[in-house]
């Protein structure tokens, strides 16, 4: 069976699917809560924000603001950042470089993985070790569906904060977080710039077959249930950036490591080539699944340009 053929969706069907899903969630309130948290850094305000994601699961994040920038009375640029697979939002100090630039940061947990955020989504059948093989037979019941709507609503939660300039709102992440940065921007027009480093959720059928990423969990599921290949690939097609790249309308910075066996270079280039907005990709022939200091500098320069 040709897996790639199975993962390709009719663009009109995909558009209709997401129009219906997003329209439904437009009417569901975020129920935002914000409470002060401690920070060892002077001049930094840290708040814990909670909002309702898919299926009413409370999603937790840090909202961090440099006080000097905020006290000037102007709205701040903001980055919304998503973690890699099995990781969490960590401590606020992780985001010091963005705060030094005068940006607000909304650092969001991913449901059920390494952080404080749980997962209300019931499993309809067993899954293999990890999260992404949950409920793979139906797009709207899948873990990927819940995850995607969580991050789309994260953008809305960030834009709703009074310190944030909604015209300067970037989605940022690496690996799983890079895939989430891309899909949040593809589905939420409030995003004005994207940094997606070594992203997952790209050309996902190829990743299932060949990568050691979280998609290897899907491969393990299919090893046990080979008769489910077609519905599983059909589900993944709804969340594959290969099919959603054309929805991106804002500047994008991406990176790829040629020695990366987790998020494979060929999957990342496949998506990059389909993006039609302003874009740039940094190729690192000697890098694996990592983001180096050189590229960190390029990320800073990219957002300085976008946020001017």
Q: Using pLDDT thresholds of 50, 70 and 90, give the confidence band for residue 6.
A: very low
Q: Which of 175, 213, 255, 287 is catalytic?
A: 175
Residue linked to tokens 């973690």: 83
Between CA 96 and CA 42 the distance in angstroms is 12
Which residues have a Cβ under 8 Å from the Cβ of 37 and sit 6 or more positions away?
Answer: 46, 47, 48, 62, 92
Q: Which of 145, 221, 238, 289 is catalytic?
A: 289
pLDDT in tens, 120-151: 888 877 777 778 888 899 899 899 999 999 99
Q: Using pLDDT thresholds of 50, 70 and 90, give the confidence band for residue 7.
A: low
Q: Any idea of the CA torsion for 151, 225, 6, 178, to the nearest 10 degrees?
A: 30
CA 225 remoteness from chain centre? 28
Q: Is the pLDDT of residue 242 over 90?
A: yes
Question: 44-52 and 58-66: which strand pairing?
Answer: antiparallel
Tell me the sheet residues that pair with 254.
196, 281
Please give the average per-residue pLDDT across 244-251, as a whole number. 97
Global confidence as pTM? 0.94
Kindly list the structural domains of the chain, giving each domain's residue range(s) and its CATH number in brackets, ordered by start: 3-307 (3.40.50.1820)
Between CA 275 and CA 254 the distance in angstroms is 11
Which 3 state secondary structure label does DSSP give 239?
coil
Q: Is the pLDDT of residue 4 over 70?
A: no
Between CA 247 and CA 242 the distance in angstroms is 10
Six-digit token string for 211: 């990568």
Q: Which of 142, 150, 260, 287 is catalytic?
A: 260
Confirm whether 19 is a catalytic residue. Answer: no
Confirm whether 260 is a catalytic residue. Answer: yes
Six-digit token string for 107: 């650092």
Six-digit token string for 61: 């994040």
pLDDT in tens, 45-91: 999 999 999 999 999 999 999 987 777 778 999 999 999 999 999 99
């Amino acid at each position: 069976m040709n897996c790639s053929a199975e993962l390709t969706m009719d663009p009109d069907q995909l558009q209709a699917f997401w129009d219906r899903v997003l329209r439904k969630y437009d009417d569901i309130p975020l129920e935002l809560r914000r409470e002060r948290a401690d920070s060892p850094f002077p001049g930094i305000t840290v708040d814990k924000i909670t909002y309702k994601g898919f299926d009413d699961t409370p999603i937790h994040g840090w909202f961090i603001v440099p006080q000097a920038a905020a006290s000037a009375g102007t709205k701040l640029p903001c980055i919304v950042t998503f973690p890699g697979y099995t990781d969490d939002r960590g401590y606020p100090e992780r985001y010091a470089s963005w705060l030094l630039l005068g940006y607000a940061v909304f650092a969001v947990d991913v449901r059920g993985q390494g952080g404080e955020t749980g997962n209300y989504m019931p499993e309809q059948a067993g899954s293999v070790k990890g999260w992404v093989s949950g409920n793979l037979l139906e797009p709207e019941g899948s873990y990927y569906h819940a995850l995607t709507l969580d991050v789309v609503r994260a953008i809305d939660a960030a834009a709703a904060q009074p310190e944030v300039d909604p015209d300067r709102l970037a989605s940022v992440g690496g690996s799983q977080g890079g895939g989430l940065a891309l899909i949040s921007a593809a589905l939420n027009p409030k995003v004005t710039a994207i940094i997606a480093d070594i992203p997952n959720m790209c050309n996902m059928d190829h990743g299932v077959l060949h990568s050691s990423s979280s998609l290897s969990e899907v491969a393990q599921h299919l090893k046990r249930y080979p008769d489910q290949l077609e519905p599983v690939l059909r589900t993944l097609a709804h969340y594959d950036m290969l099919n959603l790249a054309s929805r991106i309308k804002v500047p994008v910075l991406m990176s790829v490591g040629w020695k990366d066996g987790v998020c494979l270079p060929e999957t990342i280039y496949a998506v990059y080539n389909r993006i039609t907005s302003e874009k740039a990709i940094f190729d690192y022939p000697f890098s694996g699944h990592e983001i180096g200091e050189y590229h960190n500098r390029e990320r800073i320069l990219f957002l300085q340009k976008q946020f001017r």
